[in-house]
Amino acid sequence: MRRRTEQPDVEPVRRGSLAAHFPVQSDYEPVIASRAVRKTDPTVPAAGRLSIVSKVTNNSAPLGQFESPALPPSPEGKLQLKRGHGLTYAALFLFTVILYARPADFYPSPLTASLALIVALATVAFYLPTQLSLEGTLTARPREVNLILLLCLTGLLSIPFAMNRAEAWAEFSGTFIRCIVIFVVIVNVVRTEARLKGLLLLALVTGVWLSVGAINDYRLGLMTVEGYRASGAGQGIFGNPNDMALHLVTLVPIAVAFLLRARTLAVKALHGVCIVLMTAAIMLTYSRGAFVGLVVVALFMGWRVAPKHRLVLMIGSLVVFAGVLAIAPAGYTLRVASILLPALDPVGSADARRGELFRSAYIALRHPILGIGMGNYAAEMSHRALVTHNSYTQVAAEMGMTALVSYLMFIVSPLRKLGQIARESFGVRANSSFYYLGLGLQASLIGYLVCSFFASVAYLWYVYYLVGYAVCLRRLYESETGRVVVIEKRPRRSLTNAGSVIEPASGAATT
């Protein structure tokens, strides 16, 4: 008689269940959600190894391809963005409208002067209980949040050692701390693509409004800055023409991204008009830093939008800029040329800014720990009572080198991860919106990095909104695709064999 073999009790797989789509793992080595790649046994041949990644697949492969075809992304590791924060988002949107419109500049009154603060407090009041009920914590903790909290701590610690403590506290407790709070709110509240798109479209509408105002001033001959430059709007964050031009430079690539992802000709034409208006307004401000930033942004977009036609797009971008300079208003070309030849500047501002740059760098080296205090450079160290006109030396001189490293990493970290999203989503039709928005925000951050080299804007709103948008886009991408964005590391070449490449996961060399 044939002996009956005992079979373990196995629950039948139902059609449509998760078990039908995911392989059953062995009971002696369960898959645990982790960001890191699990180490493999070096005794196992490379062909038989399986590098298990619970949250992210092999970043070197195109989207949808995995290191092992039998191992799709683990559902336990997928970022889940719960629905909620509707009231908080409405309050955040209203606060942004007030921040951009600056009603106190046009209708001065005690109410309009404190309206932004009132709405900001209401936003925080909506945010705190909702966030605690949804997540159980005050905030998510992506790397950018940790960096901005470190920057905030550094600024706070620098106050007791500031040359003028009252000035340092006023700078810290003013716009700077509000930027940090709103940044944290943006990261946690913008949980859908529609919300992100709403804030971006609001920024574009504001950019068009500022541009039309600058063009109208030029038409009426109201070039009030130095007699030939268009002024900003009001007395707020757009009151200085250089700051307004910086803001417009960061909006141009976002408009390009919306143009590329638009499906109808009418919408593409609308965004094209926005790009032309904002470019014209940048020129009318005669901002040299904005000109350099705009050139860098255009070259970057030309390089990344169509990899197969890079040479054509790069040459086309240079031809367009040559044409723009040819039809530019009187004196614009001379103003741009003063970047390289400061003697061409009629008011001598280039020499003054160069002097402040060198002096602020010297102060940063003399006070590397906690700096001289936020807002103290112009009043205490400048020979002409001028700001540093450079965001990096502004942070280094007033808050110390630790703050400078945190500030740079706060901008560069999302910039690199946006590049990774663009590489992963390139050519994937379902993720084209992530590709274009990621590319546009990446160009915006690059434009800010360039323009802020010529302006003291480290404590103002511009970069905090941009980084907030970048973090939100990354969280949406991770939630949609189930992939954690990790910076792809290039394989290292062996020191003993220049023709071999060492694979990080397996350690085996391949020729």
Tell me the per-residue pLDDT of 5-52, one tens digit each, with 9 for 90 and over. Answer: 444 444 444 444 434 443 433 333 333 333 333 344 444 444 333 333
Q: Quick check: 197 pLDDT over 90?
A: yes
User: What's the confidence (pLDDT) of residue 468?
Assistant: 95
Contact between 406 and 150 under an 8 Å Cβ cutoff? The reply is yes
pLDDT at residue 237, rounded to an integer: 80
- 67 phi, psi to nearest 5 deg: -65, -35
CA distance 286 to 289: 9
Rounded-to-integer distance, Cα 320 and Cα 316, Å = 6
Report whether pLDDT(429) > 50. Answer: yes
* Per-residue pLDDT reduced to its tens digit, 347-367: 667 777 888 889 999 999 999
- Rounded-to-integer distance, Cα 14 and Cα 12, Å: 6
- Would you say residue 326 has pLDDT above 80? no
19 compared with 483, residue with greater pLDDT: 483
DSSP secondary structure letters along 246-308: HHHHHHHHHHHHHHHH--SHHHHHHHHHHHHHHHHHHHHTT-HHHHHHHHHHHHHHHHHH-GG
Percent pLDDT > 70 in the chain is: 77
pLDDT of residue 71: 33
Per-residue pLDDT averaged across 141-170, rounded?
A: 93
List, for residues 72-109, the tens digit of each pLDDT value. 343 444 566 778 889 999 999 999 999 998 888 778 88
Q: With 0-12 CB in 10 A as exposed, 13-18 as middle and 19+ as buried, what is 501?
A: middle
Q: Please state, for a pLDDT cut of 90, what percent of the chain lies above it.
A: 43
User: Residue 135: what residue type?
Assistant: E
Continuous H helices in 85-192: 86-101, 103-106, 110-135, 143-158, 165-171, 177-189
Determine the 3-state secondary structure of 229 from DSSP: strand
Q: What is the pLDDT of residues 371-428, one digit of tens each?
A: 999 999 988 888 788 888 899 999 999 999 999 999 999 999 999 999 888 888 776 6
pLDDT band of residue 330 (cuts 50, 70, 90) is: confident
- Give 259's pLDDT tier (boundaries 50, 70, 90): very high
- DSSP bridge pairs for 509: 502
What is the model's pTM?
Answer: 0.78
Query: Average model confidence (pLDDT) for the chain?
Result: 78
Half-sphere exposure of 137 (CA within 13 A, CB side): 5
Q: What is the pLDDT of residue 79?
A: 64
Rounded mean pLDDT of 106-122? 88
